[in-house]
Every structure is written in C-alpha cells, then in structure tokens.
Amino acid sequence: MTRPYRSVLYIPAANQRAMEKAQTLAADAIIFDLEDAVAPAEKPASRALLAEALAGDYGKRAKIVRINGFDTEWGEDDARAYAASLSKHADAVLIPKVSRPEDLDRVAALIPDAPLWAMMETAQGMLNAGAIAAHPRLQGMVMGTNDLAKELGARFRADRLPMQAGLGLCLLAAKAHGKTIIDGVFNAFKDDEGLRFDPPRAAIWALTARRSSIPRNSPSPTKSSRPPMTRSRFRAARSKPMKPPSPRARPWPWSTAALSRTSTSRPPALPCRAHRRLPISPSGDKLEGINIQPKGQAIC
C-alpha cells in the first residue's frame, strides 16, 4: 500500500519542543529541517538533538530529514550524520536546491541505502526535472516555491501564476517516473480559511500534498485534501448536475457575458491595482510601434 502524503509539516531540528509536539499533530509526514530553519551557530548541535527526537513515537508519519546543501560547510557533515545515526529512525533524506542528477549522486555516495528526495526550487532544476525524476534512488520531489519565486524575481501571488510553468514541468516528470511530488509550503500559517481552501486547489493540480511550516492548533490540511482521482470518482463527479451560477456572481473578464457588453472583439483588459493611460496619436491607434487600446480604455 502506498503511503499517503496529503499534508506535510516542517519542524526545525533545533526546536525540541516543536519536535515533541509534532508527535500529536495530524500530518502524514514530517520534514525535520536542518537547513533554513536552523541558525548557523546551532547546526552542529541540532544533529544530536534530532537523533534523540527521531527515537520518539511518531506513529505512521513519514520522517524525512532535510540536510544542508553540499555547497555549504554543513552539507557533508549532515549527510555523514544521517548515515551514522539518523537513518536508524528516519525514512528518507531531503536534498535542497537540486538542479541536476549529479547533485543526487554526491549525496548517494555518502548515504548508500536511504531513499532520496529532491527540493525543486531552482530554474535549472525545473528544466532538468525529467532527468532528476529518472534518478534510480529518488523517491519523491518537494516544490520549493518560495525560493523559486525569489530566483525568478516574481511577485508572490495567491494563484502562483509566475511559477505554473515550473510546477507543470515537475509534475509531468514526477508522474512520468512514478515519483511522489509535494506542493510548496503554505506561508500564511495564521489563515485558517486559506488553509482549508488551499489543499483542494493543490489536488486540482494533482500535487500530492500541501505543506505547512509552523506547528499550531489549526485545521489539518489532511482532512481537507482530496484523495487521488480514480475512474469511478471521475464518473461519479461527471454524473452530478452542475450548480447554476449565482445571479450575483461577477463574470470573469473574458467570459461570454463580459464580451457581450463590449464593442470590441478583444477581451477587455484585466483589472489591476495601478493603471496607466497611454496617449493616442492623432493619426491612428498606434504610437511608435506600440499597440494602443481604444480611447479612454485603461492599460495595465
């Protein structure tokens, strides 16, 4: 039976209280973080603290240890510590910023038997997602959407539009090679309504889980995540009658209702916070090679 990964919780490996509390939280998997969540001065001591904590009772929850990258001074020591002691109670090791299959080979050489997971959080990693997913030791992929957005220089948006290409490439690679793939972290940890809404949206993308970074008494994403779509569930969903749209619902900017109210055949400009108006040339609707909207229409 395949282990479910509907919700995953990040825990700092230097926080003993948080690791103890995680034994009671509703999560399918726990990522014990030796990387970003641990201050540089605490990294050596956190390995021994984590080894002691992993011996506790976490039930059926998967226990994954995220080590530091090999481009830092702590990466190889983390890998050696995992091979020596942490692997006795952990289920897998998570490698940050995997950009090519060779990044997995370096860790695999020091940890011969443990399953490997890859953090997909670089632009080069997105382009090499197929080769990374084909690695024989790889068990799963974890989307690092925060670091990916920073590398792309993209704005943080609720719909994650700038990262959809990268998410799609990793999703295709994982599904093609039969690997688990976990969605990016849910940042607004105090937003309970958002936490209820977000896992079903990840399920639409067919991503396996939604991650949270702070242990707290909030609604569990595990309860709101939908199970994988099967043929019987698809037929049952298709047979249900669709609800009529609410008369108060605002039409989408490029819907038929919206287009019928405009005099142009093009969809209207999408609304945005700041608008700017471009001047109209006297001779026509082009100015210095730039296409200009009809007079009076705002351009984002």
Please give the structure tokens belonging to residue 15. 């926080």
Q: Residue 93: which residues within 8 A CB-CB, separation 6 or more? A: 64, 65, 66, 67, 79, 82, 87, 107, 111, 114, 115, 116, 117
Tell me how many degrees the CA angle 110-91-139 measures, rounded to the nearest 5. 75
Q: What is the topology classification, in CATH, of domain 7-230?
A: TIM Barrel (3.20.20)
Q: Residue 263: which residues within 8 A CB-CB, separation 6 or more? A: none
Which helix or strand (DSSP H or E) is residue 120 part of?
strand 116-120
| DSSP state, residue 41 | G
pLDDT of residue 252: 45
Tell me how many degrees the CA angle 262-263-268 measures, rounded to the nearest 5. 45
pLDDT of residue 232: 62
Please choose, from the candidates 94, 83, 85, the residue with its C-alpha nearest in 3D space to the C-alpha of residue 55.
85
Which residues, listed in sequence order, are joined to residue 138 by a DSSP beta bridge? 116
pLDDT of residue 158: 75
* 153 CA to centre of own chain: 17
* Amino acid identity at 2: T
Q: What is the C-alpha end-to-end distance of the chain, expressed in Å?
A: 51
Domain boundary assignment for the chain: 7-230, 264-300
pLDDT in tens, the chain (300 residues): 477 888 889 999 999 999 999 999 988 999 999 999 999 999 999 999 999 999 999 999 999 999 999 999 999 999 999 999 999 999 999 999 999 999 999 999 999 989 999 999 999 999 999 999 999 999 999 999 999 999 999 988 877 889 999 999 999 999 999 999 998 887 665 555 555 555 545 544 455 555 555 444 444 555 544 455 555 655 665 566 655 655 555 444 444 443 344 444 444 444 444 444 444 445 444 444 444 444 444 444
